[in-house]
């Protein structure tokens, strides 16, 4: 199925919170010492957090592209 890029609402948590929690999840996984079930739960949460961060970054890229395009149009009008 082809991927579509439709505007979506921002994620429920801020980028910085998702990033910080993702860092903590990765750290716990790297330390080891967790059961298989705990490790899988951490991995799943890490995947969710990575998707949230990516959504924020994609939105920022789109805003930047829009602002850059508007600036280019303004420059061409002069």
| Residue showing tokens 């951490």 | 42
User: What are 7-20's pLDDT values in tens digits?
Assistant: 567 788 999 999 99
Q: Is the pLDDT of residue 1 over 50?
A: no
Neighbours of 18 (CB within 10 A): 21
Contact 55, 8 (CB under 8 A): yes
**pTM for this one?**
0.76
Domain map of the chain by residue range? 15-77
User: What are 25-63's pLDDT values in tens digits?
Assistant: 999 999 999 999 999 999 999 999 999 999 999 999 999
| Residue showing tokens 């890029």 | 5
Tokens of 13: 């948590």
Q: Is the pLDDT of residue 6 over 70?
A: no
- Classify residue 61 as exposed, middle or buried by CB count within 10 Å of its CB (0-12, 13-18, 19+): exposed
Higher pLDDT, 77 or 65: 65
């Amino acid at each position: 199925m082809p991927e579509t890029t439709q505007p979506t609402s921002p994620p429920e948590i801020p980028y910085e919170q998702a990033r910080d929690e993702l860092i903590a999840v990765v750290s716990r996984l790297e330390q080891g010492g967790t059961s298989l079930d705990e490790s899988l739960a951490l991995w799943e949460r890490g995947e969710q957090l990575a998707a949230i961060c990516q959504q924020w970054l994609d939105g920022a890229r789109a805003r930047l592209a829009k602002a850059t395009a508007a600036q280019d149009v303004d420059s061409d009008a002069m």
